[in-house]
Structure 1
Amino acid sequence: MNTALPYRRSLRTLVALGLGAGVLSGCSSDSEPAASGGSGDCSSLEGETITIVVPYEPGGGYDSYTRLVAPYIEEEIGATIAVQNQPGAGGLLALNSLLAEDADGTTLAIMNGVGAGGSSIAGAEGANFSLDDFTYIGRVASDPSLLVTSATGPYQTFEDVVAADEFRWGSTGPGAEDYVTSSLISAVFDIPGEVVTGFPGSGETELAVVQGSIDGMSGNLTSRRGAVEDDTQTPVLVVGEERPDWLPEDVPTVAELETTEEQSELLDAHLALIELGRPFVGPPGMDEAAMSCLRTAMAAAMENPELVTESQEQERELAFLPGDELEGLVQDLMDAPPAYSELLATLY
């Protein structure tokens, strides 16, 4: 049996796993627009209507981020951007549909990197794509996950969750972050129970947690902040390396847990998957001019001071990563350690 040790993700560990370059490239949001690739000629898209599909119901974090950023990209291109919600299969329906769209740059989607990436790596039913099928425009945000429970329920710490006789997580479905992260944490720490799927969006899952219909959920940090600060949900674990200032100091990160070497390797790989975050993606083989336009426009939009201010007012942290760097990160993820992909495969 491996001896338990404090979990730490280091550069040396990431390089050993083949995940270092992509993770490090996402550490800064100050990437130069030139890194997005191409000259940014938008003549083919100017005056067109560009649809950005959100794979979930209106009102959730992915919907909010898309509607926050879209007007600034619209301004850069001189096009009209329409946001369309297409929920289904935990976010997989919209991505499967995107594969068949015209690759002229007029249809994009925001991807749930953890959910879609985990489903793809695992070869899950319903994920009819490989991560490298898509054209990557740029990442909007990269948000660690936060595990929460009801503030009035019996599970007020991560130790309570681990000790549960049966813990019920809530999820929109297998293609979502809340499914992949909660399932993986249960498997890594031998938490008995199940993941209850079928919630239309995070809002409905959140309500079920508060009402006690389910015991807990995984969600992005920024999306969970309001409920935590309103004292309706209790944060029990940050699935990330750093704890934000607005969380109590007694809420652990996975970096502070005692883990075996095997557990550490699995958590390392999953944190790298989290780095994929919330990217805008297009169909396979996108027209080069359209891709160049969209990448350059997004890079410029993400540096717009007005967008930065608005994101701060909405408490939606931005973490831009250019499309070409996302492609490198995707390649790293496809080469993830076999133990990680094998574990993901058992979750579906």
Structure 2
Amino acid sequence: MERKMLTGFAGAVVAALMMAAGAASAAEFYKGKRVILYVAASPGGGYATYARAIARHWARYLPGNPRFIVKHKMGAQGLVAVSYLANKAKRDGTEILASYREAVTTTPLTIKGGVRFDPATLAYIGSADQGFGVCIAAKRVNIKSLEDAMKTPVKLGATHHRSLGYSSAYFMNNMFGTKFEVYHGYPAGTYIVLALERGEVDARCGWSVSSMKAMKPTWFDGEMVNILVQLSLTSHPQLKGKVPLIMSYAKNDKQRQLLKLILTPQSVGRPYVGPPGLPKDRLQLLRTSFMATLKDKEFLKDAAKQRIDINPVTGEKLKSLITNLFKTPKPLIEEFLAVTTKSDKVKLVKVKIPWQTQKVKVTAVKRKGRRVSFKLKGKKVTVKVSKSKTKITIGGAKAKRSAVKAGMSCKITHQGSRTRAKSIICD
């Protein structure tokens, strides 16, 4: 009996030492390293604001104090970034992603092609926010509630069909009789905000409260827009009792089931994800350091300054939410697709983003000419440069994109930051 107790004690000691050694090796790994935090969204929006704020503080809680670098990897509503993470990124914890929520939830659940990864195999680190979405309408059109949108057509700005902003018009028109018209094709949410200000569209749906507060804090306080409804499963603390949840409009259990499926990505929030095959000890270190960062006093001060909400979700919770989502019965998925993508009750209008040409001084060139930056009205603008689709001339002669250099004076024709340049004509 005594020998068995000693053997058990010795085994426990060995296990503890192995765990400690594993933690130590994970901690030692990051010393002198750099961690690339990719952001699937465009600069200037909510995803980017969160990522940069977190990156400024995360290293203090990650043993080894690695250097964090934020890079943007946009395309296909987040699928480009997740595909890179799953198939090409280093699997050692030095490349992680601030992903679009739909890119790891409803998009791979519902589309047949274009997804080259399995969301269940990704390493979920955590989320800084639970994603409370809203529908807003400009006050100039006098739409004060969802009931008003059931009586009067409303021009709703959207990116493309995989976004909640796009699909919300479908499911609300189909299920509740609203009259949203979808003006789609904006490159990013920031462009929809500009379109609202210019009067091109009247509404935006699926906009997270945190992004709204970061980009347009006075709008959240009642300036410029009315908040019509909350597109989330739970109410934002500041909107509780003031703005109804979309679930309150459900008439039966089937509609409630569909709404739960539609809105689950909101519960996922803004997921931070590692690649498949990430060592367990390193994933645990990333999870614990991430959650510690979100509780840090200096970070919370920074977050308050940036006007971003912090409502953390653990990596374990994200994993559970996404695992359960992919257990959804096929008939319910088919009904989900029917109400969110098919309707004769939705008017679709493809927007045309106008080309603009400015004479500017190039301030930075990256990736051998693939990205060119300049200042416009005091703000940094970065355009993509295509090898085949961007016309480049320097001194009157045709040139390669790699020939464009910082300091050059050029006329650049483009559709806004992070869009592809049509032409670059340099002196």
Q: TM-score, normalised by structure 1?
A: 0.79
Q: Which amino acid aligns with 1:313?
A: K
Higher relative contact order, structure no. (Cα contacts within 8 Å, ≥ 6 residues apart): 1
Q: CA shift at 1:298, angstroms?
A: 1.0
Structure 2 equivalent of residue 93 of structure 1:
80
Q: In 1, are the aligned partners of 2:61 and 2:292 still within 8 Å (CA)?
A: yes
Cα distance between partner residues in 2 of 1:287 and 1:248: 41
Q: In 1, are the aligned partners of 2:77 and 2:162 still within 8 Å (CA)?
A: yes
State whether structure 2 residue 37 is matched by structure 1 residue 76.
no
Within the candidate set 167, 183, 186, 1:196 is matched to: 183
Cα distance between partner residues in 2 of 1:330 and 1:275: 10
Within the candidate set 284, 298, 306, 1:292 is matched to: 284
State whether structure 2 residue 327 is matched by structure 1 residue 335.
yes
Cα distance between partner residues in 2 of 1:47 and 1:171: 42
Within the candidate set 259, 262, 265, 2:257 is matched to: 265
Q: CA shift at 1:241, angstroms?
A: 4.8
Q: Which amino acid aligns with 2:69?
A: A
Q: CA shift at 1:181, angstroms?
A: 4.0
Q: In 2, are the aligned partners of 1:311 and 1:317 still within 8 Å (CA)?
A: yes
Q: CA shift at 1:158, angstroms?
A: 0.7
Cα distance between partner residues in 2 of 1:294 and 1:88: 26
The 10-residue stretch of structure 1 (77-86 or 315-324) with the greater mean CA deviation from structure 2: 315-324
Q: CA shift at 1:143, angstroms?
A: 1.7
The 10-residue stretch of structure 1 (131-140 or 236-245) with the greater mean CA deviation from structure 2: 236-245
Q: Secondary structure at the match of 1:270?
A: helix
1:262-315 CA-to-partner distances (Å, cap 9, x unmatched) read 211211233333211111001222233432321222122122122223323333
Structure 2 equivalent of residue 22 of structure 1:
none
Q: Alpha carbon RMSD of aligned pairs, Å?
A: 2.6
Structure 2 equivalent of residue 62 of structure 1:
47
Q: Secondary structure at the match of 1:141?
A: coil
CA spacing shift, 1:121–1:183, aligned 2, 3 Å: farther
State whether structure 2 residue 150 is matched by structure 1 residue 158.
no
State whether structure 2 residue 226 is matched by structure 1 residue 234.
yes
Q: In 1, are the aligned partners of 2:250 and 2:256 still within 8 Å (CA)?
A: no
Q: TM-score, normalised by structure 2?
A: 0.66
Within the candidate set 5, 9, 27, 1:42 is matched to: 27
Cα distance between partner residues in 2 of 1:72 and 1:264: 40
Q: Which amino acid aligns with 2:107?
A: S
Higher gyration radius (CA)? 2
Q: CA shift at 1:180, angstroms?
A: 4.2
Cα distance between partner residues in 2 of 1:126 and 1:161: 34
Percentage identity across paired residues of the two chains: 22
**Residues 1-348 of structure 1 aligned to structure 2 (within 5 Å):** 39=23, 41-77=26-62, 78-100=65-87, 101-114=89-102, 116-123=104-111, 125-165=113-153, 167-192=154-179, 194-218=181-205, 219-225=207-213, 226=217, 227-229=219-221, 231-244=223-236, 246-247=238-239, 251-257=243-249, 259-346=251-338, 347=340
1:16-38 CA-to-partner distances (Å, cap 9, x unmatched) read xxxxxxxxxxxxxxxxxxxxxx8
1:120-149 CA-to-partner distances (Å, cap 9, x unmatched) read 121254443332132111112112110011
Cα distance between partner residues in 2 of 1:153 and 1:130: 43
CA spacing shift, 1:153–1:272, aligned 2, 3 Å: same
Unaligned runs of 5+ residues in structure 1 are 1-37
Cα distance between partner residues in 2 of 1:274 and 1:202: 16
Structure 2 equivalent of residue 28 of structure 1:
none
The structure that is strand-richer by fraction is 2
Q: CA shift at 1:194, angstroms?
A: 4.8
Cα distance between partner residues in 2 of 1:175 and 1:42: 39
Tell me the number of residue pairs that the alignment of Structure 1 and Structure 2 aligns: 310
Q: Which amino acid aligns with 2:314?
A: P
Q: In 2, are the aligned partners of 1:115 and 1:180 still within 8 Å (CA)?
A: no
1:224-247 CA-to-partner distances (Å, cap 9, x unmatched) read 242232622221111135544655
Q: Secondary structure at the match of 1:132?
A: helix
The 10-residue stretch of structure 1 (138-147 or 239-248) with the greater mean CA deviation from structure 2: 239-248
Q: In 1, are the aligned partners of 2:232 and 2:246 still within 8 Å (CA)?
A: yes
CA spacing shift, 1:47–1:162, aligned 2, 3 Å: farther
Q: CA shift at 1:154, angstroms?
A: 4.7
Q: CA shift at 1:50, angstroms?
A: 1.0
Q: Secondary structure at the match of 1:195?
A: strand
Cα distance between partner residues in 1 of 2:142 and 2:114: 35
CA spacing shift, 1:309–1:122, aligned 2, 3 Å: same
Q: Which amino acid aligns with 1:68?
A: A
Q: Secondary structure at the match of 2:229?
A: strand
Q: Secondary structure at the match of 2:324?
A: helix
